[in-house]
Structure 1
Amino acid sequence: MLQQYIKGFIEEQKIPGAVIHVQRDMNVLLKQSYGNFTAKDGSTQPITQQTIFDIASLTKVIATLPSALLLLARGEIALDDSVQKFLPKFLHETVTIKNLLQHNSGLQADLSPPVQRDEVRNILEEIYQLKLSYKTGETIVYSDLGMILLGKIIEEVSGKSLNSFADNEIFKPWEMRHTTFNPSKNLLHNIASTELVKGQYVQGEVHDEKAFLLKGVSGSAGLFSCVEDLVKYAQYWLGISKQSIIPSEWMDLCHSHLCQHRGLGFEVWTGKDTVPPCGRRWTVGSFGHTGFTGTSIWLDPKRKLFVVLLTNAVHYGRHFHVKEFRQGVHELVYDIYISN
């Protein structure tokens, strides 16, 4: 039933293809790839288990969050540290690192006017000078801008670029060998293209406009990865596989220390408020994140269940059906593998 559901979306050209991995503890329940994409050169390429995707806002929890947790665990930063301590140009001394992680900083969701790929704009300077759009800590407004600032803080504190720090301190120790910013041109044939821009598909370059102007590396977007690496990542978060890079208490805090439906970095299903991408039937306390291009990862710590779902849904433009698709997939996972 689940596979037919995915194939139906492909046949109706709602998505070009997908890769899914469903696992409970050590048991792989489903591991499959579907469909094709049109490459930059116009050729048709299959989507496989080895396909690399622009994971968009999954960057926030795959690269930026673990990098920040590592610095927190080392005592090099603290959750209550002011952003201004590290980025003096930022105007608001009351905004903390915890506010950035919980998306309650007061920063608006995005820059206005929206950034275009062919513009010349100083993204960081614009964010530094923004007025707050609501009182810090008052509510949740999911914001790319706060995570861009957090990426910059990681660079300032570590003395390394975000891509270098994440690669050496997180990805290599966790054996996420295919996860990177600005992938090598040698990998182009294996990277799913995203959106059609000026008559040619974007392939191997970041889809997100702000990250593109930030030379492909930001705390908000820019990362490329594949299902194999994201499965490893999920297993570490659920304790299925053991790691010694980030203390488990810091990882647990990310989905237990809540402000409304946001933990540190992750969205958490509270049983109320907005229904998350996993649907309302998943266990309260399940947590995850999505990416605009069509990627997502969702984890249930009680059942040690997770789903990695990768698709380049923007292939057919930005008016796509990915929210419906994600919820349908996750509800079917629950029906097939949990209810029965």
Structure 2
Amino acid sequence: MDKCDRLLRSWVEERMVPGAVLDVRRGGEVLFSGGYGGAAESTIFDVASLTKVIVTLPSVLLLAQASELSLGDPVSKYVPAFRHDEVTIEQCLRHTSGMPGAIPGFRERHATRDIRQELLAQELKSKPGERVAYSDLGMILMGWVVSAVSGMSLDLFAEESIFRPLGMKDSRFNPPPEWKERIAPTEWSGDAYLQGEVHDETCYRLGGVSGNAGLFSTADDIVRYAQAWLNPEANAWLDRAWIEASLADPVEARGLGWQVQDGHNDALACGPTWPIGSFGHTGFTGTSLWIDPTSELTVVLLTNAVHYGRDNPIRQLRPLLHEAIMNSASRHRAANETNYGSKRTQY
């Protein structure tokens, strides 16, 4: 993994990212783990849109598994004020709801606005199910559905149904003040860098808890989550059938929540050579999680790239790193298989 190490060191030295943590595993075996730019494996990051697949998606699936909702249900069944009765839960998870990507002017962080009412007032941009269009608003709606069905706020449901069962002890929304010194600062805001306060403005105005963003976590916790997707039988948690359903029949590289490598999209953060069926997601702050279920390879990359502003190169850097990781992991696997075959022949 020397090339991966060199890449990350050069990115920090060249001020492309201020810091990073990388964790690479196959079958649970650590192939590489390290921190850069002052970040350590215990550093907590604002993971931004990874919230969608680490919290919102499994929350909905767990409720569906318990027969408390159906993916084909209209969102308005659980959020009556949502007036687009034709939009379903599954469409929101697949980003085919037709909802806009964001609320106009959403970056006005400290403006006094009723975000819930503004979201509910949005018109559809396309017919539901017609096309894929990434939407924070659809995932925010999913967080509201989880709360309506479970009777709990999304953060409490996540703590009881995801973090605690999987041993994710450093994951939560609105982290407490005593965690602050461990949290990587994100963007400059007013007179200080945000540190422990969610970067996403819409989530911030919703109190720091939302279906689209707001989660703070560590590489170790995210690895635990990734392993639960690879080996669901090891946890009394989400059944494999729901995991497989989330990844089946991707449309424009979109499954339920996840991006899925379908061989027809060269713009994924994992790069073009990751195997078909690999799945993952990214976060605007500079984070990503990618999983190859065939080789059981997991890659967690956490950075606070927005510390240098929003015009940072993380979108271009992530594919380079993931390609290098896949090449290194493939060579490592081939070498192990050759050594195993040689030993078996000698025996």
TM-score using structure 1 length: 0.95
Counterpart position of 1:117: 109
Confirm whether residue 252 of structure 1 aligns to residue 261 of structure 2. Answer: no
Give 1:73 deviation, angstroms: 0.1
Aligned partners of 1:20 and 1:308 also within 8 Å: yes
User: Within 1, Cα distance between the matches of 2:249 and 2:52?
Assistant: 17
Task: Quote how far apart the aligned CAs of 1:280 are.
Answer: 0.5
Match of 1:203 among 189, 192, 195: 195
Q: Partners of 1:158 and 1:251 in 2: how far apart? A: 21
Residue of structure 1 aligned with 2:314, choices 294, 307, 322: 322
In 2, are the aligned partners of 1:64 and 1:147 still within 8 Å (CA)?
yes
Match of 1:30, as an amino acid? F
Q: Deviations over 1:107-145 (max 9, x none)?
A: 011111233111111112111111100111111101100
Q: Which residue of 1 aligns with 2:34?
A: 32
2: CA distance, partners of 1:299 / 1:310: 15
Secondary structure (helix, strand or coil) at the match of 1:28 reads: strand
Quick one: distance in 1 between partners of 2:233 and 2:173?
A: 25
* Distance of 1:258 and 1:77 partners within structure 2: 22
Residue 59 of structure 2 corresponds to which residue in structure 1? 67
Q: Is the 8 A contact 1:257 1:264 kept in 2?
A: no
Where does residue 3 of structure 1 map in the other structure?
A: 5
Name which of 216, 219, 241 aligns with 1:224: 216
Q: Which amino acid aligns with 1:140?
A: V
Does structure 1 retain, via aligned residues, the 8 Å contact 2:232–2:240? no
Counting matched residue pairs gives 330
d(CA) in 1 for partners of 2:117, 2:154: 18
1:52 to 44, 53, 56: 44
Please identify the structure whose Cα radius of gyration is greater.
2
RMSD across aligned positions (CA): 1.1
Q: Choose from 128, 136, 154 the match for 2:146.
A: 154
Distance 2:51 2:106 in 1: 20
Within-5 A mapping of 1:1-340: 1-35=3-37, 46-239=38-231, 242-339=234-331
4+ residue runs over 3 A deviation: none
TM-score by length of 2: 0.93
Q: Residue 241 of structure 1: CA displacement?
A: 7.5
Deviations 1:26-45 (A, max 9, x none): 3210001010xxxxxxxxxx
Is the CA contact (8 Å cut-off) linking 2:250 and 2:262 kept in structure 1?
no
| Counterparts of 1:26 and 1:119, CA distance in 2 | 45
Residue 249 of structure 1 aligns with an amino acid whose one-letter code is: A
SS state of the match for residue 202, structure 2?
helix
| SS of the residue 1:172 aligns to | helix
Q: Compute the displacement of 1:275 (Å).
A: 2.3
CA distance in 1, matches of 2:294, 2:259: 16
Of Structure 1 and Structure 2, the greater helix share is in 2
Whether the 8 Å CA contact 1:240–1:304 is kept in 2: the answer is no
Tell me, what secondary structure is at the counterpart of 2:166?
coil
